[in-house]
């Protein structure tokens, strides 16, 4: 069959440094302001980074865990914007999981008037008097893929009804990402599982997506297959570095695919679970994957063909494999189609920003 001509507006400017040891080669030739996750950076790597940056390191702040909230972003900006103001050419360097990297994506847009910062984040608008600092991202989990996308999730827990904000300036990509699988070797098992489930969710969401394209599909299918094969190995033997390296690669590939397609329905449904039940992001996405997979069946031949490649069985059979696979990892899938309340919640999320990307949304 002839292939339809296709225009691909592929765009991702992030310079990617990949591979074991690339973190140790990180070097700066100008001022740097560091945001690092205390739980994710070993003392050995902290010392190493300090030595490599030397006098270029102008400030260092620790992310102590928790949601990347508006309040946390504000206190971080209060602390670091004065230093960034003193060094307008400073690079913001973030080392940590998705929350740390997302906070850095906010921090790097330094506003002249700090009092209006939260208004800008809430309306996702960048005022003309902003100073945009260069951004280098070092993920320590495998992973959120945040290092290669231009979106940051910020939780607005000060609003009357807490909600998820998506901070996404058009030039929001980092300049450089350093994806060193060794940094993820010490990630705790539960967190490793949830982060890999997030990667799988990014991969599948790039397939059942209105913005899907054949190039992103290649990245996404490879990423999904890697997570499905390798996560159970890490679950059984957390010290399996070969499998952990494969998960880091899967995270990067899924992130690249997602950077072109955005996420879709499973992510749209996940946010309320995270707010209501404090469920980790990866798990909160994964519980919806079998239902969303079934909803996607038959929506587009190309999507069915891509899903068939994930478990190497026809797409309508693959969902049973997915259920069994999730069950083996302790994940209980959820389904909204059984009750009228559920069906109306599902219909509502289909109309949300991410839900509209879903290939079977009307």
3-state secondary structure of 74: helix
Give the β-pairing of 163-167 and 152-156: antiparallel
Q: How far is the CB of 98 from Zn ion (least distance, A)?
A: 8
Q: Do residues 199 and 227 touch, judged by C-beta distance below 8 A? A: yes
Contact residues for Zn ion, defined by CB under 5 A: 198
3-state secondary structure of 1: coil
Complex with Zn ion: residue 53 or 137, whichever CB lies closer: 137
Complex with Zn ion: residue 45 or 174, whichever CB lies closer: 174
Q: How far is the CB of 159 from Zn ion (least distance, A)?
A: 21
- Alpha-carbon torsion (357, 143, 104, 53), positive or negative: negative
Complex with Zn ion: residue 91 or 224, whichever CB lies closer: 224
Q: How far is the CB of 20 from Zn ion (least distance, A)?
A: 25
Q: How far is the CB of 198 from Zn ion (least distance, A)?
A: 4
Give, in degrees to the nearest 5, the angle at Cα 94 between 271 and 245.
Answer: 80
Name every residue whose Cβ is closer than 8 Å to that of residue 64 and which is 6 or more positions away in sequence: 38
The tokens for 85 are 């103001």
The tokens for 60 are 């260092």
Complex with Zn ion: residue 149 or 361, whichever CB lies closer: 149
Distance of CA 345 to CAs 265, 310, 336, 352, 355, Å? 12, 28, 8, 11, 12
Q: Which residue is nearest to Zn ion (CB)?
A: 198
Complex with Zn ion: residue 24 or 352, whichever CB lies closer: 352
Complex with Zn ion: residue 156 or 198, whichever CB lies closer: 198
Q: How far is the CB of 205 from Zn ion (least distance, A)?
A: 8
Complex with Zn ion: residue 41 or 285, whichever CB lies closer: 285
DSSP letters, 201-247, are HHHHHHHSBTT--HHHHHHHHHHHHHHHHHHHHHHH-TT-HHHHHHH
Q: How far is the CB of 285 from Zn ion (least distance, A)?
A: 6
Q: How far is the CB of 317 from Zn ion (least distance, A)?
A: 26
């Amino acid at each position: 069959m002839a292939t339809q001509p296709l225009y691909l507006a592929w765009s991702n400017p992030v310079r990617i440094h990949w591979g074991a040891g690339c973190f140790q080669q990180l070097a700066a030739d100008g001022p740097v302001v560091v945001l690092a996750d205390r739980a994710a950076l070993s003392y050995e790597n902290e010392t190493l980074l300090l030595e490599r940056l030397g006098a270029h390191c102008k400030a260092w702040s620790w992310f102590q865990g928790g949601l990347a909230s508006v309040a946390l972003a504000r206190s971080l900006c209060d602390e670091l914007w004065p230093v960034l103001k003193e060094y307008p050419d400073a690079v913001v360097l973030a080392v940590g999981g998705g929350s740390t990297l997302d906070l850095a994506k906010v921090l790097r847009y330094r506003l002249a008037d700090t009092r209006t910062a939260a208004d800008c984040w809430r309306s996702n608008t960048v005022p003309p008097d902003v100073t945009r600092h260069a951004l280098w991202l070092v993920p320590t989990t495998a992973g959120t893929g945040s290092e290669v996308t231009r979106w940051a999730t910020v939780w607005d827990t000060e609003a009357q009804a807490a909600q998820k904000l998506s901070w996404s300036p058009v030039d929001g990509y980092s300049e450089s990402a350093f994806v060193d699988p060794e940094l993820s070797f010490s990630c705790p098992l539960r967190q490793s599982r949830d982060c890999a489930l997030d990667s799988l969710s990014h991969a599948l969401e790039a397939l059942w997506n209105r913005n899907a394209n054949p190039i992103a599909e290649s990245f996404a299918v490879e990423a999904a297959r890697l997570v499905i094969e390798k996560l159970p190995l890490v679950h059984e033997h957390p010290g399996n570095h070969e499998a952990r390296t494969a998960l880091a690669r899967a995270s990067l590939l899924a992130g690249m695919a997602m950077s072109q397609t955005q996420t879709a329905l499973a992510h749209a449904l996940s946010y309320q679970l995270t707010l209501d039940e404090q469920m980790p992001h990866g798990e909160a996405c994964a519980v919806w994957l079998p239902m969303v997979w079934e909803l996607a069946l038959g929506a587009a031949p190309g999507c069915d063909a891509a899903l068939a490649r994930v478990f190497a069985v026809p797409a309508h059979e693959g969902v049973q494999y997915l259920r069994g696979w999730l069950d083996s990892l302790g994940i209980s899938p959820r389904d909204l189609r059984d009750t009228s309340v559920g069906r109306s919640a599902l219909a509502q999320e289909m109309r949300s920003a991410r839900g509209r990307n879903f290939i079977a949304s009307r």
